[in-house]
Amino acid sequence: MSWLENGQRAMMAAIDHGPAHLPNDLFVGPVERVLAGMRVHANTISHARLIALEDTFPRTLAHLSHAAFNQLARAFVERPEVTAQALTMIGTGFDGFLAAQGHADAADLARFEWLWLSAYHAADAEPLELSGLAGLTPEALLEVMVEAHPAAVVARLGPLVRDALKDEVPDIAGADAILVTRPDADVLIAPATHRMADLFAVARNPQFIGNLLGSMRELLDEDEDTVTAQMQALVDLINAGAMVRV
């Protein structure tokens, strides 16, 4: 490890845990001047963390009010597991923290915003399209292996989130769940049914379409409406860009 890296680690330890963690030989000059400079640097870093949280969770901030959000955010960024995070990951676990503080609605909003950001930064992958399955026999179709797109997620969130999105996403207010995808450059939000959520959860690991839907015998044993609904759920996931072909 280089001297620069050692020095940076020592400085961050002192900022997060106090001057006792600052090596005596790291800076030259009177201790009082060194500590004064460290306090300025610590304030700058703390401010940057708070601003990063505000930028990451604008809907949550608006819901809580700036004063309430700031108070909660200050308590959050002082936690050891948070101070160790890079600014781009500073919001990790913020939804759980809000829930633990008794802010269930705000926690749901924060979770949605973090899922949106995670989708934005997720790995690229070519989404499966229905045209790529055209012409396959039913038997061949069941042998196609698929899995969830790395940028996609289905989340069952509370009414506050759906209400916040109702003017932007048609039919989201009464949806069973929310589908977040990024098949191309833009993050997309869509309503999802219970069947879509259940299928997507299974597809987190690679699955043959036949296994994903159930065996052909099981499908044939179901009533026609159930089979149609199951197939439609898969089609809706594919159309939303939430699946890839393995």
Q: Is the pLDDT of residue 42 over 70?
A: no
Q: What is the DSSP letter of 19?
A: G
Residue 225 banded pLDDT, cuts 50, 70, 90: confident
Helix (H) or strand (E) holding 128: none
- In whole angstroms, give the CA distance from residue 47 to residue 107: 22
Tell me the per-residue pLDDT of 154-212, one tens digit each, with 9 for 90 and over.
Answer: 999 999 999 999 999 999 999 999 999 999 889 999 999 999 999 999 999 999 998 88
Q: Which of 94, 45, 48 is nearest to 72 (CA)?
A: 94
Rg (CA), the chain: 24
Determine the CATH number of domain 130-245.
3.90.930
Tell me the per-residue pLDDT of 111-159, one tens digit each, with 9 for 90 and over.
Answer: 999 999 999 999 999 999 999 999 999 889 999 999 999 999 999 999 9
Residue 219 banded pLDDT, cuts 50, 70, 90: low
Token output for 30:
């009177």
Q: Which of 110, 109, 194 is nearest to 160 (CA)?
A: 109
Q: Is the pLDDT of residue 69 over 60?
A: yes
Per DSSP, the three-state class of 148 is strand
- In whole angstroms, give the CA distance from residue 60 to residue 111: 9
Q: Is the pLDDT of residue 9 over 60?
A: no
The domain locations on the chain are 3-121, 130-245
Q: What is the DSSP letter of 21?
A: G
CA 123 to chain centre: 13
Q: Is the pLDDT of residue 29 over 80?
A: no
Residue 41 banded pLDDT, cuts 50, 70, 90: very low
- In whole angstroms, give the CA distance from residue 60 to residue 108: 9
Are the C-beta atoms of 33 and 19 separated by less than 8 Å? no
